[in-house]
């Protein structure tokens, strides 16, 4: 087990099959800096935990193990972040103990929807084969950029997965995968049994181990209000491969889930200086739909409200055509940026909201037209609907102001 931080709010990190607690090493600082007390656990049969015959190598068995660890630590309330098999366990724990689990982040999770007999057998075969070459291949499939897979990483994984009792542990897990894992689905139970547990779904855009195509079916069985964040250019381990892009939405979600974003909890030194705050209404843009302005400028940074595909009169442009809508969104954003002396080259961060995550590849060429060589930080989120009926995309931005 790895322990970090000393905040009052606890976050438990659960790894995937064949992995171990230190896979989360790139995420610990972001969580502790946000004030969380973090525990990353080794499942039985993994890392430096007990191996061999004896433990219950099933999702319910692992959930019981986590429960016993929390009892031993005296943790009565926690958020749980789980990836792959760990996501399945996190969801199971939330269903079994909704009074203890306040929020779950499910990263490329198994166990929400069936993966099918062929995939179950492929997973079982991959688990049980711990030869060095096979482990090297698994690591290269784990990430989108296989250049991250170094010889030292391969050696480290091979040694741990071939330590005393590991072969028996992996064989027991393989049998569970092949025969039973699709019988222990938990996605539909969350909404019914744990309606107050907040959920975030995170997936690597190029995940082939638990394919990205499962993201939409998984989202459909999770509680209403669950958001899907797709991490671009990442495989099955976005937390390790793209830690900054992963940490931002996850920390924001966990912070929001514990209520720290409430103004009554904001430290005095974080209060916005009214003297340095400028609200901007942009000529040529439609009247805001509710109580907000087009752009707020503060301390040299412009915060551009979400741009949707409307004309000056507020009428939807490109109904049924997400490409045309994206172009109109970015034309509106261009007006907003110009109004405060900025360009797309000054944009630091964009967040794209899509009603259908499959449209990602269709809108990317339009983004490239406007941004050119500039590559802002980016988050992509699927949501159930936007405020304007028929709108399929909304884009917001944060940009530097030149003067």
Question: Which residues are known to be catalytic?
Answer: 236
Separation CA 289–CA 73 (nearest Å)? 49
Separation CA 329–CA 317 (nearest Å)? 9
For the four alpha carbons of 107, 111, 116 and 120, in that order, the dihedral sign comes to positive
Q: Which positions ≥6 away from 29 have C-beta within 8 Å?
A: none
- Partners of residue 398 on adjacent β-strands: 303, 349
Separation CA 118–CA 113 (nearest Å)? 14
Using only C-alpha atoms, the chain has a radius of gyration, in whole angstroms, of: 23
Tokens of residue 263, six digits: 């103004």
Count of other CB atoms within 10 angstroms of residue 93: 29
**Do 214 and 201 form a contact (C-beta atoms < 8 A)?**
no
b/e burial code for range 316-331 (CB count within 10 A of at least 16 → b): bbbeeebeebbbbbbe
Separation CA 64–CA 23 (nearest Å)? 22
Q: Give the strand pairing for 377-382 and 227-231.
A: antiparallel
Q: Give the strand pairing for 393-400 and 347-354.
A: antiparallel
**Do 222 and 370 form a contact (C-beta atoms < 8 A)?**
no
Q: Which of 332, 366, 352, 362 is nearest to 394 (CA)?
A: 352
């Amino acid at each position: 087990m790895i322990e970090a931080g000393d905040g009052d709010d606890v976050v438990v990190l659960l790894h995937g099959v064949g992995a171990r607690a230190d896979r989360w090493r790139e995420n610990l600082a972001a969580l502790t800096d946000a004030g969380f007390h973090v525990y990353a656990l080794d499942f039985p049969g993994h890392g430096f935990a007990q191996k061999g015959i004896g433990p219950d190598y099933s999702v319910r068995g692992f959930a019981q193990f986590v429960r016993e660890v929390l009892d031993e630590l005296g943790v009565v309330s926690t958020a749980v972040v789980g990836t792959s098999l760990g996501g399945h366990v996190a969801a199971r724990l939330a269903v079994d103990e909704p009074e203890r689990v306040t929020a779950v982040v499910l990263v490329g999770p198994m166990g929400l929807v069936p993966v099918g007999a062929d995939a179950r057998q492929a997973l079982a075969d991959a688990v049980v084969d711990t030869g060095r070459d096979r482990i090297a291949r698994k690591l290269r499939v784990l990430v989108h950029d296989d250049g991250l897979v170094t010889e030292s990483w391969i050696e480290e994984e091979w040694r741990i997965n071939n330590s005393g009792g590991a072969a028996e542990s992996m064989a027991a897990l393989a049998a569970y995968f092949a025969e039973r894992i699709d019988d222990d689905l938990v996605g539909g139970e969350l909404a019914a049994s744990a309606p107050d547990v907040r959920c975030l779904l995170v997936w690597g855009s190029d995940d082939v181990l638990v394919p990205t195509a499962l993201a939409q079916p998984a989202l459909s069985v999770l509680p209403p209000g669950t958001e899907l964040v797709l991490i671009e250019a990442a495989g099955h381990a976005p937390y390790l491969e793209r830690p900054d892009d992963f940490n931002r939405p996850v920390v924001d979600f966990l912070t929001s889930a514990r209520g720290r974003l409430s103004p009554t909890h904001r430290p005095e030194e974080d209060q916005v200086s009214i003297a340095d705050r400028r609200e901007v209404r942009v000529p040529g843009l439609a009247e805001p739909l509710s109580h907000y302005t087009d752009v707020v400028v503060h301390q040299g940074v412009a915060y551009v409200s979400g741009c949707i595909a409307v004309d000056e009169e507020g009428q939807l442009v490109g109904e049924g055509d997400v490409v045309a809508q994206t172009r109109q969104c970015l034309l509106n954003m261009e007006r907003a940026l110009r109004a405060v002396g900025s360009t797309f080259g000054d944009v630091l961060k964009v967040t794209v909201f899509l009603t259908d995550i499959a449209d990602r590849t269709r809108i990317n060429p339009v983004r490239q037209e406007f941004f050119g060589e500039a590559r802002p930080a980016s988050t992509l989120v699927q949501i159930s609907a936007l405020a304007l009926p028929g709108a399929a995309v909304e884009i917001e931005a944060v940009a530097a102001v030149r003067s």
